[in-house]
Structure 1
Amino acid sequence: MLLPETLKVHDVSKFEFHYIYFLPWKNQMVDAIEKSGGKVTCFSAKNNLSLLFQFAKVNAYCKEHKIQIIHAHLPWAGVLARIVGRISGIKVLYTEHNNFDKYHFLTRLLSKLTYQWQTKVLAVSEDAKVALEKHNLFHDIVYVPNGVNTSFFSKKKKFEKLEHVEQFVANDKVIGTVAVFRKQKRLDIFIEVAHLAQQKKLPFKFLMVGDGPEMEMIKGLTAQYQLQNVLLAGLQESPVDFMCYMDIFLITSDFEGLPVALLEAMSMEIVPFCTEVGGIPNVVKNTQNGVLLTSQEPEDILFALVQKSINESANFETMKKNARATVENHYSIQRMVNQLESIYTEVLNHG
């Protein structure tokens, strides 16, 4: 929910925000953006490749609404934005969320062919920035880490009570994740950890919020193992209602940028247990505000969960407080918005 949360903080007396998306089923944020004052349009595409053929509609929209900056997120939208910018002369900013080397060959190729057709690149993690610099793709790359609304993402705030989740959780520790269920997330490992925990009769419950291409695999493993300790909540308009039940936020990914969901969880005093990838080690300091996992083996992950959350319970409580303090001090949404607006102003004034 980063876009609507950011919009609430932006100075709308200086900037007017329009949002274009292309995959119609990814409309979970539309209502929230519109309620915050944003203008949302969908130019429907079936997949990433067909998305590129929407450039004429996007170009016409930008002309009609006198758009001065296009700020694109995600690789294929970035390629489209750069094509429109090339045609129209509109300045283009692109936020790189992941390590460039991890993308599909075709995604990298199209990105390389168009990367010079933009004004500035924003990298959400040092890992993403270094990967771009290694390829010498662009001359002006700025580190702009994600931020979250710490006032909203707080254990002190009252969220909707979910009876079915409360019954599922009982008195156990809840290990959760909020994600798009893609292959890179390695949610098969998440399920294997849950399977081991059930076999060992450990006091853990596993709460998964989201959907995506890997959902059928997850459902298959859950049924195969007859898991009673896993709740698949599906895609939710308000994931925070589920996050407030979590004690641990488990990331088992092969690669990441700087996950917004991780920062949101930490802001809610949910202790992160994460693979040591992407921008995560910049945020999570081992045993101080979370746990960095040096192995993706389910047995090793489960051992760390038991050791750090049960056997070292006093430090676990300390890590909760430190996790929130980290986000408050370094990853607030106000800091991010200030940096973004400074960049927008610079680009408009100087190009």
Structure 2
Amino acid sequence: MATTERKPLLLDFEKPLAELATRIEQIRQLAEENGVDVSGQIRQLEARAMQLREEIFGSLSPSQRLQVARHPRRPSTLDYIQAISDEWMELHGDRCGSNDPALVGGVGRLGGQPVVMLGNQKGRDTKDNIARNFGMASPGGYRKAMRLMEHANKFGMPILTFIDTPGALPTVVAERQGAGEAIAYNLREMFSLDVPIVCAVIGEAFSGGALGISIGDRLLMFEHAVYTVITPEACAAILWKDAAKAPQAAAVLKMTAPDLKHLGIIDQILPEPIGGAHSDPLGAVTTLKQALLDNLEELNRLAPSERRQMRYEKFRKIGVFTELSHS
């Protein structure tokens, strides 16, 4: 029975890399067929490929970063949780008759410490994406998340959240079920929790759907992740009446990790493997796990009252500006 090789999913700006890789493979095959030693030339071409990869991924535009953040093979919440945890048990249901697969969570151990981990979960293919609403949580998903966080607070377990969503579920049914109230409730209650909260933007993070699980003591963000109030496509459709101007919107939204670090929105940028997290998932896992352990170690030294005050002050500083007089 014939088998088909799984081909990598290439982004537009990765095509020169693919062409160079094809050329290297062709030279290698021709050399083997003719018994010619071209190892020196191969090494030169491989070095050029690495240099080109570094150049491309070192100068990505905001819209290109968005493509990387949305890559279908980028590690998901469950990928990270299962890879970093010593033990893991998923918990289900909001205790109001709903269990949203777009927002997952449960209890586990990280570095031997009991923690509660939760986050947005997308699918790997069309069928799975439909089942998980493309990572867009319903009101029940946010209520499930809050239930798990209250459980963590009751038993003194730190909370880790992983954010990767185009937004909350935008349906009439979701609005009828209180989407705005569910997100607002989470925002308020997360400020009052006693335990450490570390949030990590692992992919795309847009709108209130992202905010609903991102109120924490520390907000980490992967190098090629994006985080802002609205998707570039929606922003372009509103401002310019043309969704095709999404790249222009992506630039003005200041949604990249360097922009957000400069603005004081995020606390730490997590470097990604050259080529993005999807090119080396284990490398991304190692980086994220160490960052979580380091931040938890610092936060565990603080008293609950200190963490709550720092959390409050952290968000009060966001958006502060100074008016300069021209007189």
What TM-score, normalized by structure 2, do the two folds share?
A: 0.34
TM-score for the superposition, normalised by structure 1:
0.33
The structure whose residues are more often helix, as a share, is 2
